[in-house]
A and B are shown apart, each in its own frame.
Chain A
Amino acid sequence: QKEVEQNSGPLSVPEGAIASLNCTYSDRGSQSFFWYRQYSGKSPELIMFIYSNGDKEDGRFTAQLNKASQYVSLLIRDSQPSDSATYLCAVTGSNYKLTFGKGTLLTVNP
């Protein structure tokens, strides 16, 4: 059973702080890694993807991938109340199938 694990949270951070979201995966053949943001009652929205080891930055978001440790993370700098949502980690395994974690609920307090 290929799995993607995330802390369910909730993760609570003050406005302006850095939020750090973590994800581990079990399939060593995984090649693509995605972070989705999902507001309550809405569909998931793709915010970051990463394919290679290292860091990838897009605005306030940084995705970090370590394939040796089977670990991917998302950092949100200068967190805003509008960032409050559930963040889903998703991994494409060796069979091209996208597997999601259960998500981490992030709350940014004004």
Chain B
Amino acid sequence: EAEVAQSPRYKITEKSQAVAFWCDPISGHATLYWYRQILGQGPELLVQFQDESVVDDSQLPKDRFSAERLKGVDSTLKIQPAELGDSAMYLCASTPSAGHSYEQYFGPGTRLTVT
């Protein structure tokens, strides 16, 4: 069964350091999503890609966060510098394309702890 892959699974970093997360969507899926989930909250969309293009990054804190999907396949989310409030689960999901009828399946997530 095809799955979304993410790495690392866990990351501990110090405040002001840089950190990066990687996501490999289900093969053939054109749309990729990055979410952040703070403990006790639902996931919140950070950025959505259609192929290599960003279609929604309205909730991405662009002063410190960046995301890329250069070849329209895997994607990297970067935080520089990390702050204590960035401690959260970072989730990646993918769908064949954007649309109402596509169910989003999540990868295992990366648990980030900033100290």
Contacts and interface: CB of A to CB of B under 8 A. Distances in A.
A34 B103 contact: yes
A103 B101 contact: no
Interface stretch (B13-21, B36-44, B68-76, B78-86): B36-44
A46 to B, nearest CB: 6
Contacts of B89: 43
Contacts of B98: 96
B41 A49 contact: no
A102 B91 contact: no
Contacts of A41: 111
Chain B contact residues: helix, strand, loop or mixed: loop
Contacts of A100: 42-44
Interface residues of A, number: 22
A100 B100 CA distance: 15
Interface string A10-45: 000000000000000000000110100000011111
A25 B89 CA distance: 24
What's the interface size class on B, roughly?
20 to 34
Q: For B33, B100, B106, B111, which residue has the most chain A Cβ atoms within 10 angstroms? A: B100
A44 B111 contact: no
6 closest A-B pairs (Cβ-Cβ)? A100-B42, A43-B109, A31-B100, A43-B106, A32-B100, A92-B100
Interface of B: 33, 40-45, 48, 56, 89, 91, 98-101, 103-109, 111
14 contacts: A32-B100, A32-B101, A34-B103, A43-B89, A43-B107, A44-B106, A92-B100, A96-B99, A96-B100, A98-B33, A100-B42, A100-B43, A101-B42, A103-B42
